[in-house]
Amino acid sequence: MKIQSKSLPAARRLLKLADNDRALARSEMSKLSEEEQVAAICEAPLAMRARLLELAELPEALIPLLPDAELCFTCKQVGVSDASWILTHATTDQILACIDLDAWEGLSPAAARLDGWIASLAEAGDESLLRAAQAMDPEMIAYYLRSLADVELKPSGDEDWQPPEGGQTFEGQFYLIAREANDDLAPLLRLLHVLFQKDYWLYFRMMHSVREESEAEIADWALRWRTNRLEDLGFPSWDRSMGIYGFLRPDRLSDLPEEGTLDEQAEWDLPVWITSLPAAADHQHALFRTVAELEVEERARFFYAFLSLANRVAVADRLDLGDAETLPATIEKAASVASRGLEFIASETGASAPEVLRRAGTTRLFRVGVNLQPEGVRPSFSEPDESDEEDTTGEA
C-alpha cells in the first residue's frame, strides 16, 4: 500500500454511527470510494474492523484490496476459526501471506496454526480450499499431513493384508492413521478429499511424501519457498536480517561516507497499512526529530528505508510476523537504537543530525547503536560477530 497523501475517512465516526443508526452508517459507508472504505477499515482498531466490513455494501470487493498482513491481522482478531467469510473473498496471495506470516514459529512450520487456517478455508468452501492448496508449497502440505497422520500403502497382490486399525482411505490404497488417538483429522481429511477429487496428482504426491521424504528435508524446502515470498513482502531472509547486528570496530563507529544516500530504498508495496512515521521536533527519539528537518522527498525515502529496517529487526529477532503488535514494537526498537547511533556520530563528528542521517542511513545508524550498547539489543540466541568483515549490506 503506497503512502497516502490525502486525508483518510474517520473510521471512528462510522463506528459511532453504527452504534446509533446502522442504516445511516451503511449509507455513509456507501458514499465512500472503495479506496476510502479500505482506508477506513485499516485505520479502525482491529477489534472494530469486522463491524466496518459488515457495513460495506460489497465487502467481497473490499477484502481483496486489504494489504496482505492487515488481512491476516483482521482474521486473527475475528478468530481464524470464524474468519471463513473473509477468506472466501480473499485473493490467493492474501491467503498465502496469512499462512507465511502466521503458520510458523521462528524458522519452523507450526502445524497447529496451519491446521486452524486449513479448517477455516474448508469452512469457506471447496473452491477456497483447493486454490489455497494448489498455491501452497507441496512441502508445507506434506509437513502438515505428516504432523497429524501416518500413511500406509496397501501391498500389491497381498490378499491377506488387513487395513490398519483406525485407518481411513478414499481409494482403498492409501490409509491414514492418526498419530495421536485424540487428534481431530477433520480439516486434514477435508483437504485430502478435495485434492483426491480435484487434483489427484497432488493428492498422490502428498501421500507418497509421508512415506518417502524426511521431515527435515520437507521443512527446509518449505522454509526456502516461504523466505522467497517474504522477501517480496519486505522481510529479508534471517541470515541477511542478522547483518543489522554485525560487529563494528570501535574506531569505525563514527565513520561517515563522503556522499549522502539516505538509503537508496525504492518504494515497495507495504503488506501493512501505515500512512506515515512520526516526524516532529518534540519527538522523544532523535531519529524522528531529525526526519522533521528533511525535505519531503527525503522523508519519503526514509519512510521505506526505515520500515525495511523494522522488518529486518522482526525477522532477525524471530518475532511473530502474524502478530499486529510486532511492527509497532520493531519500529520502537529500530528508532531507539538508531537514535543512539545518530546522536553518537553527530557528537563525535560535529556534523548536523540531518547530515548524519543523509550520509549514514538508517541501517548504519542502527548498527552503530547496537555496538554502543549491545546488551539487551541483540537477540539472545545469537552470538556477536567478532570479525570486522563487511556484512551482506556492504557496510564495514
Residue 76 is assigned to a structural domain of this protein: no
Residue 226 is assigned to a structural domain of this protein: yes
- Pair (227, 160) in one structural domain: yes
Least confident of 39-43, 278-282, 340-344: 278-282
- Pair (127, 172) in one structural domain: yes
Residue 382 is assigned to a structural domain of this protein: no
- Pair (218, 242) in one structural domain: no
Residue 108 is assigned to a structural domain of this protein: yes
> Which of 191, 214, 232 is the last residue before a domain boundary?
232
Residue 150 is assigned to a structural domain of this protein: yes
- Res. 374: pLDDT tops 60: yes
- Pair (16, 121) in one structural domain: no
| Structural domain boundaries, residue 267 | 238-372
- Pair (263, 222) in one structural domain: no
Please tell me the predicted confidence (pLDDT) of residue 383: 45
- Pair (125, 148) in one structural domain: yes
DSSP H or E stretch at residue 62: helix 59-62
| β-bridge mates for residue 153, sequence order | 174
| β-bridge mates for residue 149, sequence order | 178
Are the C-beta atoms of 361 and 394 separated by less than 8 Å? Answer: no
> Which of 232, 251, 284 is the last residue before a domain boundary?
232
Residue 33 is assigned to a structural domain of this protein: yes
Report the number of distinct structural domains present in the chain. Answer: 3
Average pLDDT of 239-259? 91
Residue 362 is assigned to a structural domain of this protein: yes
Residue 393 is assigned to a structural domain of this protein: no
- Pair (171, 197) in one structural domain: yes
Where does the pLDDT of residue 225 fall: very low under 50, low under 70, confident under 90, or very high at 90 and above?
Answer: very high
Any residues with CB less than 8 A from the CB of 48 and at least 6 apart, and which? 11, 15
pLDDT tens track for 298-343: 888 899 899 999 999 999 999 999 999 999 999 999 999 999 999 9
Average pLDDT of 155-179? 87
DSSP letters of 264-326? -PPP---SS--------TT-SSHHHHHHTTS-HHHHHHHHHHHHHHHHHHHHHTT--TT-TTH
Pick the closest to residue 100 from 273, 264, 232, 243 (CA basis).
232
d(CA 319, CA 329): 10
- Pair (116, 213) in one structural domain: yes
pLDDT tens track for 78-115: 999 999 999 999 999 999 999 999 999 988 999 999 99
- Pair (60, 91) in one structural domain: no
- Pair (99, 227) in one structural domain: yes
pLDDT tens track for 16-41: 887 788 888 888 888 888 888 898 88
**pTM (predicted TM-score):** 0.85
